[in-house]
Amino acid sequence: MKTVLITGGSSGIGLELSKLFAKDNYNLVIVSKFEEELEAAQTYLHELFPHINIETFQQDLTENNATQNVHRFIHDNNIDVDVLVNNAGFGSYGYINDADIEKESDMIRLNVLCVYQMTRLFLKDMVKKDKGKILNISSITAFQPSPYFATYASTKAFVKNFSQAINYELKSQKSKVRVTVACPTSVKTQFQQAANMGGMKLFDSWMAVSPETVAKDAYVALHSNKDLVVPKKFFQYLNEFTKRLPTSLLMKISDHQLK
Ligand SMILES: NC(=O)c1ccc[n+]([C@@H]2O[C@H](COP(=O)([O-])OP(=O)(O)OC[C@H]3O[C@@H](n4cnc5c(N)ncnc54)[C@H](OP(=O)(O)O)[C@@H]3O)[C@@H](O)[C@H]2O)c1
């Protein structure tokens, strides 16, 4: 049986991904911040998929040595990770001078540093064995500067560019290991509250997509060795068009959408 390691696999998009992997007989290792969330997810998933093994590891991934702790847990338990999903992340919406520096610094640690370190720690083993896959969850905001979402969008631009560049390197090195990046539009999950976007219409608008659809499209893209996916075909096509527009216009559109 194969094993997938999913950060933030206990809620939202991550939980939907956990279900898809479990349905395909992958054993799960889920890493999240809150013990109660992990326990609830483990019980829920065990009821749905009693035949698979579900390990959980509680870790605040913004802490120093967090990724090393995850890597050690995997090593000490002799777990062979076939797929790594870097999904844990959060947003921060608002005028830059109103944003909490500590919160945004934690966001950079989680959305950027953690993705970087997890990828570095697990990619080496995968390349050595010449097998394995990494799925990184970015965002549609990765394609342009986003006023009032400046720091978050920049973290997701890192995730997108880092993933695509690594995947290119792996192909050039004739490795069978692949990296896929998913760039969803707005998804109604706990993300909305955490990002200070509680009352925003965007999450119920035509730009919204369900966590199930995001997970399904990302899962299919990963298993088809796709470089990048924008979940829901319509948004994939729309993005092909919008990314050709001038940045100044894209920023105006984004500002309008985020109101
Ligand atoms: N929702 C959207 O509109 C949207 C759009 C594009 C991209 N995304 C991206 O999709 C990914 C998943 O977000 P989601 O929408 O599914 O949000 P979510 O429901 O809030 O899930 C986030 C997950 O990340 C975990 N997490 C958060 N902070 C953590 C920390 N410090 N240490 C360890 N785990 C932590 C959470 O675990 P706990 O509950 O235990 O804290 C939770 O399992 C994120 O990377 C997000 O940026 C979301």
The pairing of strands 133-137 and 178-182 is parallel
pLDDT of residue 129: 97
Ligand 1 atom 2 nearest Cα: 187
What separation in Å is there between the alpha carbon of 32 and the centre of ligand 1? 9
What is the token pair recorded at 17?
Answer: 């991904």
* pLDDT for res 3: 98
The tokens describing 94, both together, are 């608002």
Distance 85 CA to ligand 1 centre (A): 12
* Ligand 1, atom nearest to 7 Cα: 34
CATH code, residues 3-257:
3.40.50.720
Asked if pLDDT for residue 104 goes beyond 90, the answer is yes
Q: Rounded to 5 degrees, what are φ and ψ at 34?
A: -105, 130
Stretch 156-185: mean pLDDT, rounded? Answer: 98
Atom of ligand 1 nearest to the CA of 61: 32
CA distance readout (Å), 126 to 12, 30, 70, 123, 259: 27, 19, 16, 5, 43
- 254 Cα: distance to centroid of ligand 1 (angstroms): 21
**Exposure string (b/e) for 15-37, b if CB count within 10 Å is 16 or more?**
bbbbbbbbeeebbbbbbbbeeeb
Please list every protein residue whose CB sits less than 6 Å from any atom of ligand 1: 8, 10-14, 32-34, 37, 60-62, 87-91, 110, 137, 139, 184, 186-187, 189-191, 194
**What is the Å distance from ligand 1's center to 89 Cα?**
4
- Summarised one tens digit per residue, pLDDT across range 121-159 is 999 999 999 999 999 999 999 999 999 999 999 999 999
Strands 186-187 and 208-209, how do they pair?
Answer: parallel
pLDDT tens digits, 8-60:
999 999 999 999 999 999 999 999 999 999 999 999 999 999 999 999 999 99
